[in-house]
Amino acid sequence: MAQPFQESIYKLIVETSTNLPADVREAIQEARKKEDAGTRSALSLSTIADNIRMAECNVSPICQDTGMPTFIVHTPVGVNQMELRKQIIEAVAQATKDSKLRTNSVDSLTGANSGDNIGPGTPVIHFEQWENSQIEVKLILKGGGCENKNIQYSLPTELEGLGKAGRDLDGIRKCIMHAVYQAQGQGCSAGFIGVGIGGDRTSGYELAKHQLFRAVDDVNPHEDLRKLEEYVMENANKLGIGTMGFGGQVSLLGCKVGVMNRLPASFFVSVAYNCWAFRRQGVLIDPQSGEITKWVYRRGDELPMSKDEPTEAAPAAEAQPERREIVLQTPISEEQIRQLRVGDVVIINGPMHTGRDALHKYLMDHDSPIDLNGAVIYHCGPVMAKDEQGGWVVKAAGPTTSIREEPYQGDIIKKFGIRAVIGKGGMGAKTLKALQEHGAVYLNAIGGAAQYYAECFKQVEGVDFLEFGIPEAMWHLQTEGFAAIVTMDSHGNSLHADVENDSRTKLAQFKDPVFV
């Protein structure tokens, strides 16, 4: 069975990485109907729909951050789990080699990338026995941006905007609402959350992540938890966070809650936040043949994404300012940057350079290998592959969460004369001050839209610091038609700060008890 089983796991990995299941697609389609037409959030959802179609057609990763591959395996009694583990690891390595997964396994002490997603603790594989005669393998690919927005509460506690959260159902409600609020656009909203009530610190998070394996449209059999899920889905979308944190009607696409016993002295509420690119799938496998007999979740091709914005979308509740579209050729001058305002759509042509955590840390104390005066830095860890001639090709290239670079970004803008920084989720006060003082802007790209943006990169001009690993290397890309929105300008304005302040005000309306 070994080789057929490995091939079945490979098929599962490819399907999970490249083709969102039908229940997730339905949730995104419903969000498009609810969002105000013509707004930034509505346009972002349209881009997301385009990206889902492109990933399916190209059989390429929906998002460049293919996350930590996490497998839940149920086996009949008598199946050799050690052999299955070997085959799963081989399938992960092959999928990485074939650019269906990004090289995401990094040594925590040295920062060295294994290059094949294999290493201590990666991939994550959990085995359980069951009475079914078939093997079930479920996989979730949860990226680092949304993983960083996971949060765990120890009750009782004080929550910003919500006051005291006690050791009861109402305290749990407040924690979940706060979890949605604190994610803002950094978790690639609109997202999905799994909630684990009880357990210890470890098992609570595990329970929360297990909730993400439930179908989006299922109904919780526990009456109190059903009511809690319904409450959160109705009210979290009143926070006004919106897609990518741009503001809007839809901030959450799904909420699933589970409960387990706890110690008398501990009361944890653990929340696993997942981005809109909710990549999880599962298969049943015949233990004799190793072949797939059934897909656990409806596959994406059962629900093609509609190409045009749904006609049911409501008109914008408030008049939207006329959207300006400005085309810029790199390198960019300070004069051009000073003319931009929050809300402008910028189309970039010319050279662009990727840079993430390792590069930013390096540039603080070293010179850049290329002239960055007037340049654009893209917070992106792409999926790259070699073509038949041995040249590099961009396979997936969406933005990473920018806030991680907040300790460095302002200093690097000043040091090198960078004019534009592209990422997702926005940045903080230090970066905003540097944009204002040195004449630069922050551009928000659509998180997860890795295929949409990969098409903008027409040629790979070169690469530096490949020793950092493919995601952390500095890629030099020839760009054409790369569109992003100015969300932090050189005049001290930040859409992210405005949306966060507004959602904090709205959060306060949920302070009073609901479940008593």
How much is the pLDDT for 313? 43
How much is the pLDDT for 2? 67
- pTM for the whole thing? 0.94
Amino acid symbol at 484: A
Cβ pair 455, 432 in contact under 8 A: no
How much is the pLDDT for 286? 97
Assigned token pair, 324: 């300006």
User: Cis before residue 156, ω within 30 degrees of 0?
Assistant: yes
What whole-number distance in Å separates Cα of residue 467 and Cα of residue 107? 13
What whole-number distance in Å separates Cα of residue 174 and Cα of residue 163? 9
Residues of the chain with pLDDT under 50: 309-319
Instruction: State the angle between helix axes of 223-235 and 169-183 in degrees (0 to 180), rounded to the nearest 10.
Output: 30
The residues that bridge with 350 in the sheet, in sequence order, are 479
Cβ pair 146, 275 in contact under 8 A: yes
Q: What is the mean pLDDT of the chain?
A: 95
What whole-number distance in Å separates Cα of residue 247 and Cα of residue 502? 9
How much is the pLDDT for 38? 87
Assigned token pair, 446: 């659509």
What whole-number distance in Å separates Cα of residue 425 and Cα of residue 415? 24
Cβ pair 88, 9 in contact under 8 A: yes
How much is the pLDDT for 323? 74
| 268-274/124-129 β-pairing | unpaired
Task: Write phi, then psi, for 490 (nearest 5 degrees).
Answer: -85, 10
What sign does the dihedral 161-166-167-170 (CA atoms) show? negative
How much is the pLDDT for 308? 56
How much is the pLDDT for 516? 63
Task: Write phi, then psi, for 181 (nearest 5 degrees).
Answer: -60, -45
What whole-number distance in Å separates Cα of residue 52 and Cα of residue 35? 18
What residues contact 165, with CB distance under 8 A and at least 6 apart?
Answer: 153, 155, 156, 157, 158, 159, 171, 172, 174, 175, 178
Cβ count within 10 A of residue 294:
11
Cβ pair 55, 18 in contact under 8 A: yes
Convert the pLDDT of each residue in 291-307 to its tens digit. Answer: 999 999 999 988 988 76
Give the angle 299-312-324 at the CA atoms, nearest 5°: 100
Measure the N-to-C terminal CA separation of the chain; round to a whole number of Å. Answer: 55
In three state form, how does the secondary structure of 3-69 look? HHHHHHHHHHHHHHHHCCCHHHHHHHHHHHHHCCECCHHHHHHHHHHHHHHHHHHHCCCCCCCCCEE
Cβ count within 10 A of residue 494:
21
Convert the pLDDT of each residue in 122-164 to its tens digit. Answer: 999 999 999 999 999 999 999 999 999 999 999 999 999 999 9
